[in-house]
Chain A
Amino acid sequence: MTASAGIRSRRALSRLSLYLALCLGAVFCLLPFAWQLRSSIMTMSEIFSYPPKLLPSDPQWKNYPEVFQIIPFGRYYLNTAILVAWNAAGVLLSNISIAFALTRVRFRGRNLLFALSVGTLMIPSTVTMIPTFIEWSWIGGLNSFLPLIVPSFFGNAFFIFMLVQFFRTIPFDYDEAALIDGASYPRIMIRVIVPMARPIIAVMVIFTFLNTWNDFMGPLLYLNDSKLFTLALGLKSLLSSYNSYWHILMAAATLVILPLVIVFFIGQKSFIAGLAMGGIKG
């Protein structure tokens, strides 16, 4: 066997094992989801039949429109979308400039602020839950979207940490070059750093979308009026303590996840797109 054929067959083998490993993991990831999908078009009694059936004998596609009849799902969709839009805006506006300042602008108290910010990650949510609720009640923010939107404009410790770690991997040559050219700090941030950090910023937006979409505790505490309810609360209402509508819940869950899947599928491509335009990565 010639050397090149040997290399080729070795590459083919490694390619095959790569596919195999990927598929194995994919099956593990998909298993519960597959059960959810097949349950969403079954009747209640079919869902729990044993041994479990892979496919329904009579697909109950009507479960999907039935979701909208049992709970005001359309409105919940709208409310959740509104929250996501606002939170994405807040996250983009605040975290990038904060992380930029913490890594590329020298000022006293910088390290302390960063340490404090990371420190807040360690505070159990139960501690801040009630006092924050009381704060909002003082300014009449209860039963509105305000408590669920405003905090994202003040920085999010997760994202700050994440952005700081990534910004630190960018050499300072770029900043210095721009400074010599007379650029101001905001200009450096927007023109130099942001384009390089596109992948991680995309991750940040995707996370914000996901967290807002699935957030349960926030809406639970702050929303009284069911006209304001979000999808997470809608799902919970189908899982009440003694009457669970399993088939409807599975259909509703699929409807809830669908936008997330689409957003993520599109978003992960922008990693690659961002890289192509990135510049420093070759």
Chain B
Amino acid sequence: MRIKKETLWGWILVSPLALGLTLWVAFPLGVAVSMSLFKWNMISEPTFIGLQNYWFMIAGDHLFWQSLKVTLIFTLTSVPLQMLLAFVAALLLNAKVRCMGVFRTIYYLPALIPAMVSTALWMFLYNPQYGLLNLLLDKLGLPTQQWLIDSDMVIPSLVLMSLWSMGNVVVIFLAGLQGIPKELEEACLIDGGNYWHRMRAVILPQMSPVIFYNLVIGVIGGLQTFTQPYVMTKGGPSNASLTLMLHLYRQAFTFNKMGYANALALVLLVMTIAVSLLVFRSSKSWVYYEGGRK
């Protein structure tokens, strides 16, 4: 069978990916799937228990459902807000204004700060007694909040912090905006269109692949939120910020229940795939690729 030159080149160029998938994905995933059917504390022999882990998850683990709720609420609030604000910020930062480089750097600054430091800084801001935020609220005559210590305020507090560090999303939107062919925008202006017309006819369609990317990445990241609740609230108060990843991590590394943790991880994986597939499917109707699909 003669192999087309195109096919050959395709496989050569893509080979690192294929290898990487085998080494870093297929093997660990295989281990995870099989491990989820065992009871294993990592220091003695694993015991096969079949689907018991999954049964316990649904029927016996009250924190599973709690963590599911927390994760979904957090993702469904933070991702849309982030996308909206980041898009607006990118539009602002795309303008022809002096010192734009400085502004862009400032907006990206939060994303540059290592997680350990930013969590420490925000914990200070959120301190009910001595923190900056309550000081500001007090000066403005507004009621002070308990922030991370109040089970009703803890998710909004974490969402606010995630909005602050959305520099990554902004930068990608910005790169996308700058990739819009100027002729299209000019054509729209010549036709007498105002800003909203430009937005609907040119900017949004041209940006749709980028919006799609940020949406998928945002949802995946949101469902896997771990660092902030882990460092700042340890899942509290009263499990109000216990995300699924945090619950999983604790099962694996604090309680030595590696098998159960793997089962939780697989459930999270399936959930993420399901949501992403939804977004992918919908993308056919609203994402526009200039280059077309070869």
Residues on A facing B (Cβ under 8 Å): 15, 18-19, 21-22, 25-26, 28-33, 35-36, 48, 50-52, 94, 97-98, 100-108, 110, 113, 116-128, 130-132, 135, 151, 153-155, 158, 160-162, 165-172, 184-186, 189, 199-200, 203, 206-207, 210, 213-214, 216, 231-232, 235-236, 239, 249, 253, 256-257, 260-261, 264-265, 268-269, 271-272, 275, 280-282
Partner of A36, one of B102, B121, B290: B121
Q: Does B25 contact A (CB under 8 A)?
A: yes
Q: A166-B210, A200-B179 are in contact. List 7 more A-B contacts (CB 8 A).
A: A105-B6, A106-B10, A117-B21, A126-B252, A154-B23, A168-B293, A268-B104
Closest to B270 in A: A122
CA distance A235 to B265 in the complex (A): 29
Closest to B186 in A: A282
Is the CB–CB distance between A125 and B291 below 8 Å? Answer: no
Tell me which residues from 184 to 232 in chain B have a Cβ below 8 Å from any Cβ of chain A: 206, 209-210, 212-213, 216-217, 220, 224
Is the CB–CB distance between B7 and A264 below 8 Å? Answer: no
Partner of A19, one of B4, B97, B168: B97
Q: Mark B256-275, 1 if CB is under 8 A from A, else 0.
A: 00100110011011001100
CA distance A11 to B4 in the complex (A): 58
Q: Does B141 contact A (CB under 8 A)?
A: no
CA distance A260 to B118 in the complex (A): 15
Is the CB–CB distance between B291 and A256 below 8 Å? Answer: no
Partner of B24, one of A48, A50, A151, A236: A151
Task: List the 7 closest pairs (A to B, CB-CB), nearest first.
Answer: A154-B20, A107-B10, A101-B13, A131-B28, A122-B272, A128-B28, A282-B182
Partner of B269, one of A102, A123, A203: A123
**Which A residues lie within 8 Å of B292 (CB)?**
171-172
Partner of B16, one of A52, A94, A116, A169: A94
Question: Measured between C-beta atoms, what is the minimum distance from A275 to chain B in Å?
Answer: 6
**Which B residues lie within 8 Å of A127 (CB)?**
28-29, 32, 262, 265-266, 269
Is the CB–CB distance between A22 and B23 below 8 Å? Answer: no
Partner of A105, one of B10, B116, B273: B10
Question: Measured between C-beta atoms, what is the minimum distance from A270 to chain B in Å?
Answer: 11
B interface, how many residues as a size bin?
Answer: 35 or more
Partner of A153, one of B16, B28, B175: B16
Known: A19-B97, A165-B213. A210 touches B291 (CB 8 A): no
Known: A26-B103, A97-B13. A172 touches B89 (CB 8 A): no
For chain A, what secondary structure do more than half of its interface residues adopt (helix, strand, loop), or is it mixed?
helix
| Listed A/B pairs (20) with beta-carbon separation below 8 Å | A18-B92, A32-B110, A32-B125, A35-B132, A52-B130, A52-B135, A97-B16, A98-B14, A102-B14, A105-B13, A106-B10, A118-B216, A122-B269, A132-B24, A161-B217, A189-B13, A256-B114, A268-B105, A268-B108, A282-B181
**Which B residues lie within 8 Å of A105 (CB)?**
6, 9-10, 13
CA distance A158 to B20 in the complex (A): 14
Question: Measured between C-beta atoms, what is the minimum distance from A201 to chain B in Å?
Answer: 10
Q: Mark B152-181, 1 if CB is under 8 A from A, else 0.
A: 000000000000100010011011101101
Is the CB–CB distance between A235 and B116 below 8 Å? Answer: yes
Closest to A272 in B: B178
Q: Does B62 contact A (CB under 8 A)?
A: no
CA distance A121 to B268 in the complex (A): 12
CA distance A256 to B89 in the complex (A): 26
Is the CB–CB distance between A122 and B273 below 8 Å? Answer: yes
Is the CB–CB distance between A124 and B268 below 8 Å? Answer: yes
Tell me which residues from 102 to 126 in chain B have a Cβ below 8 Å from any Cβ of chain A: 102-118, 120-122, 124-125
Is the CB–CB distance between B130 and A162 below 8 Å? Answer: no
CA distance A153 to B23 in the complex (A): 12
Is the CB–CB distance between A168 and B289 below 8 Å? Answer: yes
Is the CB–CB distance between B113 and A33 below 8 Å? Answer: yes
Is the CB–CB distance between A271 and B293 below 8 Å? Answer: no
CA distance A52 to B206 in the complex (A): 47
CA distance A203 to B171 in the complex (A): 8
CA distance A275 to B93 in the complex (A): 16
Tell me which residues from 1 to 31 in chain B have a Cβ below 8 Å from any Cβ of chain A: 4, 6-7, 9-11, 13-14, 16-21, 23-25, 27-29, 31
> Which of A26, A116, A154, A186 has most chain B Cβ within 10 Å?
A154
Q: Does B249 contact A (CB under 8 A)?
A: yes
Is the CB–CB distance between B113 and A257 below 8 Å? Answer: yes
**Which A residues lie within 8 Å of B262 (CB)?**
127
CA distance A15 to B265 in the complex (A): 49
Is the CB–CB distance between B117 and A249 below 8 Å? Answer: yes
**Which A residues lie within 8 Å of B212 (CB)?**
165
Q: Does B142 contact A (CB under 8 A)?
A: no
Is the CB–CB distance between A185 and B9 below 8 Å? Answer: yes
**Which A residues lie within 8 Å of B294 (CB)?**
103-104, 106, 172
> Which of A36, A108, A169, A281 has most chain B Cβ within 10 Å?
A169
Partner of A207, one of B14, B23, B168, B252: B168
